[in-house]
Amino acid sequence: MLKVFTRSASSKQVLTQFKNKELLKFKGYVNGKWLESNDKATFKVYNPAQKDGQSDEIAEVYSFSPEEYGTAIEAAQTSFNSFKKTTGRYRSDLLLKLYDLMLKYEDDLATLIVLENGKPYADALGEVRYAASFFQWFAEAAPHVTGDVIQSANASARILTMKQPIGVCGILTPWNFPSAMITRKLGAAIAVGCTSVIKPASETPLSALSLAYLAHEAGFPPGVVNVLPTSETSMVGKYICEHPLIKKVSFTGSTNVGKLLMNQSSSTLKKLTFELGGNAPFIVFEGSDIDKAVDGAIKAKFRSSGQTCVCANRIYVHESIYDDFAAKFVEKVQQETILGNGLDENVTHGPVIHDRSLAKVEHHVTDALDKGAKLLLGGKARPDIGDYFHELTILGDVTEDMAIASEETFGPVAPLFKFKTEQEVLERANSADVGLAGYFYSPDISQVFRVAEELEVGMIGVNTGSISEAALPFGGVKESGFGREGSKYGLSDYLVVKSVVVGV
The string of pLDDT tens digits covering residues 112-155 is 999 999 999 999 999 999 999 999 999 999 999 999 999 999 99
Q: How far is residue 365 from each of residues 231, 329, 414, measured CA to CA in Å?
A: 31, 18, 10
The Cα–Cα gap between 303 and 282 comes to 14
Fold of 11-276+482-499: Aldehyde Dehydrogenase; Chain A, domain 1 (3.40.605)
**Chain-centre distance for alpha carbon 44:** 22
pLDDT value, residue 53: 83
Where in the chain are all domains bearing CATH 3.40.605.10? 11-276+482-499
Please compute the mean of the pLDDT values over residues 159-183 and round it to a whole number. 98
Please compute the mean of the pLDDT values over residues 283-297 and round it to a whole number. 98
Please compute the mean of the pLDDT values over residues 219-233 and round it to a whole number. 98
Where in the chain are all domains bearing CATH 3.40.309.10? 280-469
4 has a pLDDT exceeding 60? no
Residue 8 confidence class, pLDDT cut points 50, 70, 90: low
Instruction: Please say if 275 is a catalytic residue.
Output: yes
Q: For the stretch 288-311, what's the b/e string if a residue is b when 16 or more beta carbons lie within 10 angstroms of its beta carbon?
A: bebeebbbbbbbbbbbbbbbbbbb
* Confidence (pTM): 0.96
pLDDT in tens, 449-471: 999 999 999 999 999 999 999 99
Class of domain 280-469: alpha beta
pLDDT in tens, 408-434: 999 999 999 999 999 999 999 999 999
243 has a pLDDT exceeding 90? yes
Please compute the mean of the pLDDT values over residues 283-293 and round it to a whole number. 98
Question: Taking the CB of residue 88, how many other CB atoms lie within 10 A of it?
Answer: 17
The Cα–Cα gap between 327 and 186 comes to 43
pLDDT value, residue 473: 97
pLDDT in tens, 64-95: 999 999 999 999 999 999 999 999 999 999 99
Contact criterion met (CB below 8 Å) for 346 and 338: yes
The active-site residue, picked from 127, 232, 275, 391, is 275
